[in-house]
Amino acid sequence: MTQRVFNFSPGPAVLPLPVLERAQRDLVSLPGVGMSVLEVTHRGPAFEAILQSAKQRLVELLRIPANYRVLFLQGGARLQFSMVPMNLLRAREQAADYILTGSWGKSACQEARKEGRVQIAWDGRDHGYDRLPGPADLVLDPAAAYVHMTSNETIEGVQFRAEPDTGQVPLVCDASSDFLSRPLPIARYGLIYACAQKNAGPAGVTVVIVREDLLERSSDALPGYLNFRLQAQEDSMYNTPPTFAIYVLDLVAQWLQEEIGGLAAMQWLNQEKSQLVYAVVDASGGFYQGHAQPACRSLMNVTFRLPTEELQAGFLAEAEQRGLYNLKGHRSVGGIRASIYNAMPLAGVTALGEFMQQFRRQHG
């Protein structure tokens, strides 16, 4: 199969074609280096330039203020579920507040319980995680060590439009599945983490953006790799960083800057794309049932159901025949999930919308 299909996978997920082509073109020998990016030492000038470029592009794209540090770590978002409370909660009297808006928020909370005291600021369980809390719904402790949120619940398809107000308490955000999909007011956050393989690059690297004062909480007793302060001191070079993943992330950031025109433009495109699918859901007379409440709908992961399991199976099979892949919902929620990250072209979403309309006409 040499033809590319439209890949709606939740992650690892579609990457921009120009990024793949550039990586392919330069794979055997980086221009001016004479070696592959897979072969160069992380301590040499070639990789040093890549690391600094990736960092600088993130600073520019997200307008990251000077009192924040950008780290490139391994272990995925899952390791951050532990690393965040190890550094910010362990051995403290205070508790951490967790906002549970779906499967990933719940997992983050479970891991935090191993490190310290945890309080549930809100839990969407009774509604099947189809909505988000309003400001009045949150039970926040003004003395909490931090508040943890998940900006986009990849499995349920609910996404915050704005940050909850946590006052002086640092806000920690798992932004794995909407990182770089829109501008973010970084100064509202204490720490943001995102594994790259949803929207920012390949698996293997996780970006952590952390406010400098929070680094003081990291205890020297922590294993070196798991210590944010040490990772910041060593500029993500405490050990060998995931060089290839950082290289591709840099190419993705360059694509966002030079071909898309920044994160506001990206957000506009993402709105267009998701609206196209939601409009088909809403105009289907109940044939397609969206999982998320309309006000909380994700621009990244569109989740919906068909009337029966048989129709769902038929939908998935027919979609593949049309080159629309990986639309099956997560086993915990069922139904259909169309992940339409930054790199999903408008043509893919248009093809999906047309297929959905035709399928409903045939089976509705």
How far is 350 from 345, CA to CA, in rounded Å? 9
Among 111, 115, 156, 174, indicate the residue that binds ligand PLP (CB under 6 A). Answer: 174
Q: Nearest to ligand PLP by Cβ — which residue? A: 76
d(CA 254, CA 102): 32
How far is residue 112's CA from residue 81's CA, in Å, rounded to a whole number?
7
Q: Residue 280 phi/psi, 5° resolution?
A: -70, -40
104, 122, 130, 178: the active-site residue: 104
Residue with tokens 């009297």: 93
Known active-site residue 174: yes
Q: Is 104 a catalytic residue?
A: yes
Q: Exactly one of 166, 177, 199, 312 binds ligand PLP (CB under 6 A); which one?
A: 177
**Among residues 280 and 336, whose Cβ is nearest to ligand PLP?**
336
Tell me the DSSP string of 41-90: -TTSHHHHHHHHHHHHHHHHHHT--TTEEEEEESSHHHHHHHHHHHHHTT
Nearer to ligand PLP, 46 or 343 (CB): 343
The window from 173-181, 221-229, 257-265, 305-313 that contacts ligand PLP (CB under 6 A) reads 173-181
Burial 17-31 (b: 16+ CB within 10 A, else e): eebeeebeeeeeebe
Pick from 170, 169, 139, 133: nearest CA to 153: 133
Residue in 11, 116, 335, 353 binding ligand PLP, rule: CB under 6 A: 11
- With binding defined as CB under 6 A, does residue 343 bind ligand PLP? no
Q: Residues 55, 130, 178, 198: which is the catalytic one?
A: 198
* Contact range with ligand PLP by CB under 6 A, out of 75-83, 121-129, 163-171, 282-290: 75-83
Residues annotated as catalytic (active site), given as ranges: 104, 174, 198
Binding site for ligand PLP (CB under 6 A): 11, 76-78, 104, 150, 154, 174, 176-177, 195, 198
